[in-house]
Chain A
């Protein structure tokens, strides 16, 4: 524990010295100043936690000194001492921001206690400020994510536009193949090359299609269709959907479900996320590996975990995997949108998604979803209620 740094300011050395000595003996780090001006100079150059300040001093008095301290040095707590106390001065001192206002002669134990309390308060405030800064940072990040999402909206429009010419290209490539395979074409020079080129066109079209579809899937109109969602049933469906692929790769998938696993959410979106995560797991897991889908009741919410015994994610990629278009798959196989989209969905459902991975050991993706009760009377469900409550809250009216 660091020593608490105290600046004791009083113009009467006879009063100041003994107090300084006794506080020093109690384990405080004491510095002294004989006037308000001296105190301000000292604070310019040295860090201090608490200032104990005499009110009545020649030159700059205690109240004025405190005002300047508060103005110039944020977070320093001030305790005022006075020989001629009045209720008015006491009220004024506290209103001006003093931590406390004590009357001489002072009880040393009492003063030491107050210094400790003031330090505690300061520590809490620093903590609070840090939290607030963190929150702001998080919010900025969220805004950035939202921006990306609106970018997604934009891309949706583009995706639709692109789909049409893609269809034409695909159609034409198919037609070229048809023509190439006709009898009258047999024996034309370099037929093989032409045929290969057509293959490439078709493959590229398919790849582009996959990207546009992902984009479309990401921003399908968010008609919030919340309903009873049985996570176990969703896991079963996912397994049904991907089981074949897993078996082909000799990977075993199991489902572990405990406790209450029905929540109020959007099953279609959760299924999309699950399919995405399990697909990733299958791709990352070598033959003979295992994938586990776990559903755990956490009281407030439910945790949905997809764990694999695959290759794991290298540290340097961990904070990139949720970025759009980041993929480690060979070109043409992954769009790099899966996890980005999944995280967007989970966030919209009021949940959180985190990853825990060790290279060579496997990866665990955990989704925490709120249980969300079905709407009851007075819940925020319809816009009218929401707006009404927002208005009341702006006004600071108590909730009725």
Chain B
């Protein structure tokens, strides 16, 4: 965990803020892909896997809530942190309901942001491990009586079920 770099997708329409944050984060064990629009974020996430995304709310085109939901839908393991200059209770609630890991408001202390991003990454790893364990158990449960073909069929069912 310490040696491994965290892959971060960073979306913000303020180019200057984006550039400087990218530089600062890269000195602190992050691999950062920085984009200025929600649509580009979706594109980028389809190309490479990210651990965590840091998403601004107010952007031209696709806004932060929409970006959050689209990213969550396609990458259920990715944890997403919202960072906004225009926070409100309603949007905080909506983002959390939409699966955001955390909701931070600018200006935000850099060390605090790092802390949250790292926790989000830990959460992602933990979720993944838990699910893997659950699946292993599932397989152990059914493997005593079924062929691997049926196990696969069952797994596909479970996946389909989880999507709903």
Contacts and interface: CB of A to CB of B under 8 A. Distances in A.
A390 interface: yes
B102 A390 contact: no
Chain A interface size band reads 20 to 34
B153 to A, nearest CB: 8
14 contacts: A85-B89, A87-B87, A88-B92, A90-B96, A93-B93, A100-B97, A143-B145, A383-B148, A386-B148, A386-B152, A389-B155, A390-B152, A394-B155, A396-B76
A86 interface: yes
Interface residues of chain B: helix, strand, loop or mixed (majority): helix
A88 B103 CA distance: 8
A116 interface: no
Contacts of B155: 389-390, 393-394
A390 B97 contact: no
A387 B148 contact: yes
Contact of A396 (B88, B92, B97, B131): B131
Contacts of A25: none
A91 interface: yes
Given A393-B135, A394-B132, A396-B131, A94 B96 contact: yes
A143 B146 CA distance: 9
A146 B136 contact: no
Contact of A394 (B89, B96, B97, B136): B136
Nearest to B95: A91
Nearest to A150: B145
Nearest to A128: B164
A394 B139 contact: yes
Interface of A: 85-91, 93-95, 100-101, 103, 139, 142-143, 146-147, 150, 380, 383, 386-387, 389-390, 393-396, 398
Contact of B77 (A87, A94, A103, A396): A396
A90 B146 contact: no
B151 to A, nearest CB: 6
Contact of B89 (A90, A139, A395): A90
Interface string B122-139: 000000100110011001
B89 A103 contact: yes
Given A146-B145, A390-B152, A101 B132 contact: no
B111 interface: no
Contacts of A380: 149, 152
Contact of B159 (A89, A93, A142, A393): A393
Contacts of A91: 92-93, 95-96, 100, 102-103
